[in-house]
Structure 1
Amino acid sequence: MKRWKLLLLLILCGGLAGCSISHETETPSDSKGVMTKRQVLNLASSQPIRTLDSDKMSQFGRLNNTIEGLYTTANDGQAELALAKKVHVNAAKTTYTFTLYHDSYWSNGDVITAKDFVYSWQRALAPKTKAPDADLFTGLHNAKQILAGKLPATKLGVSAPSKFKLVVKLDHPMAELPQRLAYPLFGPQDERIANKYGRKYATRPQYQVYAGPFMVATKGYTKTHWHLVPNPHYWDRDHVYLTRINVTVFTSQKKMWQAYQDGKLDEVHLPFQKDKHLEKQADYTARPYSKMLLLSYRQHGPKAGTNRLLKQAQARLAISHAINRKSLGSSTYGTTSLPALGIVPAGLSRGQRGTADFAAAQTNQSTLAYKPTLAVREWQAALKQAGTSHTTLSLSYLDTPATAKVAKRLKQQLTKVLPGLKMTLKAREWTISEQDDEVDTDITLTTQRAQYADPLSMLALFTTENAANTGHWSSEAYDSLVAQASNASSFNNQRWQNLLKAEGILMKYQGVTPLLQPASNYLVNPKLNGVQFNTVGTQSNFKGAYFVR
């Protein structure tokens, strides 16, 4: 059985000296000369387009190929400069001054300027738009106060002293800042176009412009079928080989599979049942991604008895110990999924010398072990403390085939092991932002993705004030350790140890309960080359993709 192996994502460093690239890139040696005449890529999607506004996307999907910012994610997972020509960092590491290229253009021919970044970032934090991932701006000067509604977005620590000079001020040093800035949310937006179209802006392709290698074509656009074409003004247009990327929404896995078999798709996502007999095919691949399926607990719901139960760490530990993660993963996402070792996914980050994967080094892994006998003791003690002998807990899940299976398996496992427990399941619809509303069930099954290659990208989500902490678990010690790591000026050993200690606290008390790190299994046209598959941030980069004969 093929097991997916996670790549080393990042060799962490403290400084940015020499972190510059040129707008001159080399043509891949195995591209021109062996390419087919037809360079059209056909892809499937399970979700329709809901917006073309990068400030309103919680997942960028195929549209990440239309966005480019100061940094981009390289093949090895490191952040490298993209639209920025160079960066200067002050001695205190609290001010970054970026010099932009003068020859970078929007898809309509407008020059990309520093003001486009200022506008984009301020707009992302403004109350009218407030991006789903707006918490990623925390650490930039005044961002925390802006998110709390205490300051206007115009007070964000970003400015454009000249046309191609961008200054970013921080509240404190942020060693992981380049990794954050590679995320598409930090890309620019054309203020002139946004003002021109007003409410229509980014509602349809003709009301949006793009800084990335591709743009959404206006012709033939619907929410269930669209296509990307090369951005004619992209700075590296000569090294974009695909002439078109067709994207079709499929509501049926069977129809998607048949389309691949008929040669109408160049990639198909596999349900786990098909993995075993297909894994030896040349077009089979298992792609890792730094995400974690987890449970969060509502501790301030409408039922006092349930609150008393779920506020107890031993109740949450009982739930964790009652879950057979290996069985849960193999029966839902398949054998290529990994049982959680902690909240930080495997392969996301390594120590200074690349010797220790953070996931493997996480403490209190025993809290995630399958221990049904211990689970019963913990559960009975928690019930007694809550003043009851039985309870019914509600669990919500995103209405997709995979998560529905996980929810049903969880219900089976938990009600079988834990005496006096009944569970009800509730499907929730996919929205642009899964964090728009307060959770309305006792337990929520959700997926969190690492948006940049650092343990902080996961651990920061569960601090007291973070919007992703929907269960409102809180620990002063945890918040303090995360803050110390966030304030660190370099990737030193102390920062690493603080992150490990924080993760240990989260697992000791099961502030959230990690379940699985899923892998996505695909069949891919073997003639497709040059695709950059990222394991963090956004997944598929088709800038250098091409078909061979």
Structure 2
Amino acid sequence: MKKIISALLALTMLVMVLAGCTKIKAPDKNGAVLDMYLGTKPINLDPATVYTDETLVKLINLLFEGLMKVDEKGKLQKALAKKYEFYTDDKTDELVLKIWLKTTYWSDSSLVQSHDIVYAWKRILDPAFSSEAASMLYAIKGARQAKLGEIGIDDIGLYAISKNILEVRFEKGADTDEFLYNLASPALVPLRENKISLYEDTWSRSSTDLSTNGPFRARKFSGDEGETLLLERSKYYYRNNSLSSEALDKSVTPYRIYVHFSDPLDLNIVSTKDEEAVDVVTKFRNEEYFYVSGLTGSVAADFSKVKTTELASTYSYYFNTSNKTLANATVRYALSIALDRNAIAEAVGGGAKAATGLVPSKVFDTKKGTSFRKNGGDVISASSSIEEARSILSDAGIDPSKSDTFYLYYLMDYTNDSYQSAQMGYMSKEKTVATYAKETWEELGFSVVLKGVNATEYEQVYKSGEYDILGLDCQALSTYSFAMLAPYAKAFSGKVRLVDSTSKDYDSSLGVARYYVNETHVTGYYNEEYDALIEKAYAASSRKEKAEILHQAEKLLLEDAPVVPVLFNSDCYVSSSKLSGIQTNFFGSKIFTKTELKNYLNYLHD
């Protein structure tokens, strides 16, 4: 009898403990459902391509988790990594990093293994794959040679020692502190090799084929731009689903997040043909939406308690240097200095700031707590120098009126951007900047045509290079500036090309039938002096020396102007007073892993 009573008491205590460990309230069995609006919907969730769209970065940080993470204050913390240690291999005299992984699972219940990291990084370094993230991995022994096909991809210093142990061997003089911070990049998260191999064209575009290792999984996602994205708690995220004793919300509090993209923002300033449409402003006030981000100043004015978060990205224009007119650096520089960035920032609102360089102020200079932007100062003026631009063009003998028309592409918000909306007072950030740029450059005498495109068209334009000017969010992929500046150098672009006997630039003296060569940045930019500076920064023996070189490189880059920074991005958002536990990481992305909704039972829906 005593044994039975003891067992019952133990069971009662267990139930009480479990009840105390969960936020789920009876009769519900799952947890809170959050509805929110984040902006324009991306169509591709491949982490290795996160460098053009700030909304994509926000989502990647909810779906995937890398080895490390960096908090809002720039502090490096372990994420997937349980522990790590550096040591020198006495036999090879190589510096080695050994990382032990925590036990967690993919959204399909498979164990997250060190091989998943190895595969994701080797994919970026594969000559057949193009990614600006490649330079963050060039500290690994043999990584650069593998990218050029000079050694096999399996010959680099990257190994899955066991299911939960990863080993990295470094090049001589590698900056291992910077490398650790790079491991927090949204581009360097683990990936499932079998998923990508089986569903090469759809693994990142369909929830059916996508596996994630972060707090949420994509329950509903496709290329339909108007479709709501449904994120659902991954019940395998740091939780053993086979143990009934572990609460469903042990690691992730919200059950579902509905991310809406197709609603008009504010019907006072946005035109729509849908007479029954209810705007985002109204849905927030009616407690249908609890979080709204990506606001411009015109929409933010209709909300109270608006907040802003500085993002690690810069809205910029890429100039296609293969264009006959834009091949001239003088033209590009004149177009850049003619822009009134202060006026553009004021027009966009929502906390946007005039860009005075490419690298935003959040990015480190020499270490945590230092700012590359603050230490480097203003490289470009925030105000317009249109008269200087005219003078430069005139001195160079360039007549803008005789140049071919420029086609300026930008990502369009098809729900909210329209001629009618513009007349009523609303334009997206992208359209606002494009409109100002067109007016300014036509004042110089150039002809500019604006081409607002959807996400599918935008992706095609970017990949093909079939644009004259392209607007994008230049994303800092690391806390350090090298990863943002290096891709403009040919040897660090992350792109290579196979050359054989049929190629015009084939060199038979090399004595091989086929070989790879580095390709230029997607803009086509190439400057030997710039390339030399990046090589010098890569080989620098101290972070101070490296930072000094990178400041020189940024100055040269913006004088050559294949990329023209316009705005330092900021996320303007409103959050319901009923929400708590929202965190922010270094990149400015919001983390909803432990977010709670007060009285959530009142707002449950399918």
TM class by shorter chain equals 0.7 to 0.9
Give matches, 1:183-194, under 5 Å: 183-191=185-193
| Contact 1:528/1:547 (<8 A) preserved | yes
Cα offset, 1:453, TM superposition? 1.0
Q: Letter of the 1:177 partner, please give it.
A: F
1:228-266 per-residue CA deviation (whole Å, 9 max, x = no partner) reads: 232222226624221222223315324333322332111
Matched, 1:260 2:284: yes
Cα offset, 1:48, TM superposition? 4.5
User: Could you tell which deviates more after superposition, 138-147 or 440-449?
Assistant: 138-147
Cα offset, 1:49, TM superposition? 6.0
Residue 346 to residue 56, structure 1, CA distance change in 2 (3 Å)? closer
Cα offset, 1:79, TM superposition? 3.0
| Contact 1:90/1:96 (<8 A) preserved | yes
Separation in 2, partners of 1:218, 1:296: 33
Cα offset, 1:52, TM superposition? 5.4
1:76 aligns with 73
1:89 aligns with 86
1:427 aligns with 452
Residue 44 to residue 149, structure 1, CA distance change in 2 (3 Å)? farther
Out of 332, 344, 352, which is 1:316 matched to? 332
Residue 509 to residue 220, structure 1, CA distance change in 2 (3 Å)? closer
Equivalent position SS for 2:486: helix
1:379 aligns with 393
Q: Letter of the 2:99 partner, please give it.
A: F
Residue 201 to residue 165, structure 1, CA distance change in 2 (3 Å)? same
2:237 aligns with 234
Residue 94 to residue 463, structure 1, CA distance change in 2 (3 Å)? farther
Residue 182 to residue 434, structure 1, CA distance change in 2 (3 Å)? farther
Out of 523, 531, 535, which is 1:483 matched to? 535
Residue 473 to residue 276, structure 1, CA distance change in 2 (3 Å)? same
Give matches, 1:7-18, under 5 Å: none
Separation in 1, partners of 2:453, 2:218: 29
2:418 aligns with none
Equivalent position SS for 2:490: coil
Residue 502 to residue 131, structure 1, CA distance change in 2 (3 Å)? closer
Q: Letter of the 1:500 partner, please give it.
A: H
| Contact 1:35/1:547 (<8 A) preserved | no
Out of 209, 212, 221, which is 2:211 matched to? 209
Matched, 1:546 2:562: no
Equivalent position SS for 2:555: helix
1:16 aligns with none
Separation in 1, partners of 2:560, 2:47: 36
Give matches, 1:46-65, under 5 Å: 46-48=39-41, 50-51=43-44, 54=47, 59-65=56-62
Cα offset, 1:511, TM superposition? 4.0
Out of 522, 527, 545, which is 1:470 matched to? 522
| Contact 2:43/2:223 (<8 A) preserved | no
User: Could you tell which deviates more after superposition, 74-83 or 425-434?
Assistant: 425-434
Out of 365, 376, 388, which is 2:379 matched to? 365
Query: CA-atom RMSD, angstroms?
Result: 3.5
Residue 462 to residue 54, structure 1, CA distance change in 2 (3 Å)? closer
Q: Letter of the 1:345 partner, please give it.
A: P
Cα offset, 1:343, TM superposition? 1.0
Out of 298, 314, 324, which is 1:273 matched to? 298
1:292 aligns with 314
Residue 266 to residue 129, structure 1, CA distance change in 2 (3 Å)? farther
5+ residue gaps, structure 2? 1-19, 26-30, 240-248, 267-278, 413-427, 496-519, 600-606
Residue 142 to residue 395, structure 1, CA distance change in 2 (3 Å)? farther
1:3 aligns with none
Cα offset, 1:448, TM superposition? 0.5
Equivalent position SS for 1:250: coil
Out of 335, 346, 351, which is 1:336 matched to? 351
Equivalent position SS for 2:535: helix
2:12 aligns with none
Cα offset, 1:449, TM superposition? 0.9
Equivalent position SS for 2:250: helix
Residue 323 to residue 226, structure 1, CA distance change in 2 (3 Å)? closer
Residue 203 to residue 311, structure 1, CA distance change in 2 (3 Å)? closer
Matched, 1:452 2:478: yes
TM-score (norm 1): 0.80
Residue 387 to residue 435, structure 1, CA distance change in 2 (3 Å)? closer
Separation in 2, partners of 1:328, 1:196: 46
Cα offset, 1:193, TM superposition? 5.5
Q: Letter of the 1:528 partner, please give it.
A: L
1:10 aligns with none
Q: Letter of the 1:451 partner, please give it.
A: L
Cα offset, 1:33, TM superposition? 11
Matched, 1:159 2:209: no
User: Could you tell which deviates more after superposition, 246-255 or 520-529?
Assistant: 246-255
Equivalent position SS for 1:412: helix
Cα offset, 1:201, TM superposition? 4.8
Q: Letter of the 1:288 partner, please give it.
A: E
Equivalent position SS for 1:265: coil
| Contact 1:298/1:442 (<8 A) preserved | yes
1:247 aligns with 259
Separation in 2, partners of 1:473, 1:232: 46
| Contact 1:159/1:166 (<8 A) preserved | yes
1:397-420 per-residue CA deviation (whole Å, 9 max, x = no partner) reads: 22323212211111112222x2x3
User: Could you tell which deviates more after superposition, 114-123 or 402-411?
Assistant: 114-123
Residue 64 to residue 250, structure 1, CA distance change in 2 (3 Å)? same
Separation in 2, partners of 1:199, 1:505: 38
Separation in 1, partners of 2:222, 2:563: 44
1:104-129 per-residue CA deviation (whole Å, 9 max, x = no partner) reads: 23334332222222233334444676
What percent identity do the matched residue pairs reach? 22
Separation in 1, partners of 2:231, 2:151: 38
1:518 aligns with 569
